[in-house]
Amino acid sequence: MENPFKYDSVEALREERAVRIVDQRLFPCHEEFLLLYNEEDVYDAIRKLKVRGAPAIGVCAAYGIWASVANLSSGSGLASEFDRIAGRIASSRPTAVNLGWAVERMNRCFRSALDLYGEDREMVCDALFEEADAIKREDIAMCEAIGRNGLSLFTRKGMGVLTHCNAGHFAVSRYGTALAPVYMAQSAGLEPRLFSDETRPLHQGSRITMKELMMAGVDATLLCDSMVASLMTKGEIDMVFVGCDRIAANGDTANKIGTCGVALIAHHFGIPVYVLGPSSTIDRCTPTGKDIVIEQRDPSEVTELYFSERMAPSGAKVYNPAFDVTPAEFITGIITEKGIFHYPYNFLEND
């Protein structure tokens, strides 16, 4: 698949021993690139949503571990420092399973490299870089495979697709999960029509999804989250494509807050809902959505962030979960690089 974008959301600069990200907080008006050199830089970038999207977070964490180890002072004990670095990065956000998955993969690589090379830091760092780079290459390949599987759902020209939050190019290494089939449909001349929820309170849909859809030349329309039902009553939506931060073993899916509401409304209107993500997002150790830890974020994101003045009285109590969980029975299909899975789901059996 031809890349319609001029840069990736996460890239490694090997000579500089740094991770380069684009600061997604500043979209759509500004494109500012940041260099991350150590675990505090990486923790801050992930925690403050400078880099976001479960796969992109995983890639950033992997490269971040490499860069942090590569930039250690020569007197540091390698094994203890690695554990400290990995632990700090892993603690940055609790919900996206790709973060813990990538950190654990880097941990296994480090232990193997330590057995092979001992305290030879250069050789250990080379092994860490290659592993992190492999995670990114695999993520790109997975997005392409997800795109091909999702493309099969575009059965005619001009189909209307609703998406929530951003599960596109900027949320992964390249192309996207939920939006990869859209870009393939666009390339195939199927002229998809995309509708993007603004996705309160952080506006990922308006700031990021709309930006990349317009960059790729896709017919895209922005709507407030509260307009979904109105749009569906008009027959404009043929299917819903969303990403995922964690999929439980029974198919319950955590995604950006508001996704559950979209799925329930779509179910009422008989519109299919598809969750798209890499198989690494499936957490077989989490039985159901009730077991998923939901991150609570700073109230200021609701009351004042992105506003010129406060939009709530000072001292107002705020409920601001980053995610909600969509029950599996309201998800028509879960699309990974391995194919399209249909309800009822049992990922302990279906590998």
Per-residue pLDDT, 351: 52
d(CA 1, CA 22): 22
**Rounded Cα gap, residues 278 and 115, in angstroms:** 31
The active-site residue, picked from 238, 245, 283, 324, is: 245
Token look-up 């930006």 returns 211
Q: What is the distance between the alpha carbons of residues 80 and 73, in angstroms, rounded to a whole number?
A: 13
Per-residue pLDDT at 182? 98
Does 245 participate in catalysis according to the annotation? yes
Is residue 281 within 8 A of residue 247, CB to CB? The reply is yes
Query: Is residue 274 within 8 Å of residue 177, measured between CB atoms?
Result: no
Q: How does DSSP assign 74-118, residue by residue?
A: TTS-HHHHHHHHHHHHHTS-SS-HHHHHHHHHHHHHHHHHHHHHT
Phi-psi region of 57 (alpha: psi -120 to 50; beta: other; left: phi over 0): alpha
Single-letter amino acid code for the residue at 32: E
**Nearest to residue 196, comparing CAs of 175, 218, 177?**
218
Domain spans of the chain, in order of start: 10-144, 146-342
Q: What is the pLDDT of residue 246?
A: 92
Q: Which two tokens stand for residue 130?
A: 């290659």
Position 350 scores a pLDDT of 56
Question: For the chain, first and last CA: distance in Å?
Answer: 26
pTM exceeding the 0.95 threshold for the entire prediction: no
- Which residues in the chain come in under a pLDDT of 50? none
Contact 35, 71 (CB under 8 A): no
Distances 337 to 73, 99, 136, 140, 319 between C-alpha atoms, Å: 40, 19, 15, 11, 35
**What homologous superfamily does CATH list for 10-144?**
translation initiation factor eif-2b, domain 1 (1.20.120.420)
Residue 145, both tokens: 């495979």
3-state helix, strand and coil shares in percent for the chain, rounded to the nearest 5: 45, 15, 40
Query: Could you tell me the two tokens for 160?
Result: 């209307």
Helices (H), the chain: 39-47, 54-70, 78-90, 97-117, 121-151, 180-187, 204, 210-215, 228-233, 259-269, 300-303
Position 95, amino acid:
T
pLDDT tens-digit readout, 6-59: 899 999 999 999 999 999 999 999 999 999 999 999 999 999 999 998 889 999
Assigned superfamily of 146-342: Translation initiation factor eif-2b; domain 2 (3.40.50.10470)
Residues in the chain: 351
Q: What are phi and psi of 339, to 5 degrees?
A: 140, -165
Tens-digit pLDDT profile for residues 204-245: 999 999 999 999 999 999 999 999 999 999 999 999 999 999
Among residues 332, 201, 312, which one has the least CA distance to residue 257? 201
Closest CA to 192 of 140, 144, 153: 153
- Backbone φ and ψ for 282, nearest 5 degrees, come out as -80, 120
Query: How much is the pLDDT for 280?
Result: 84
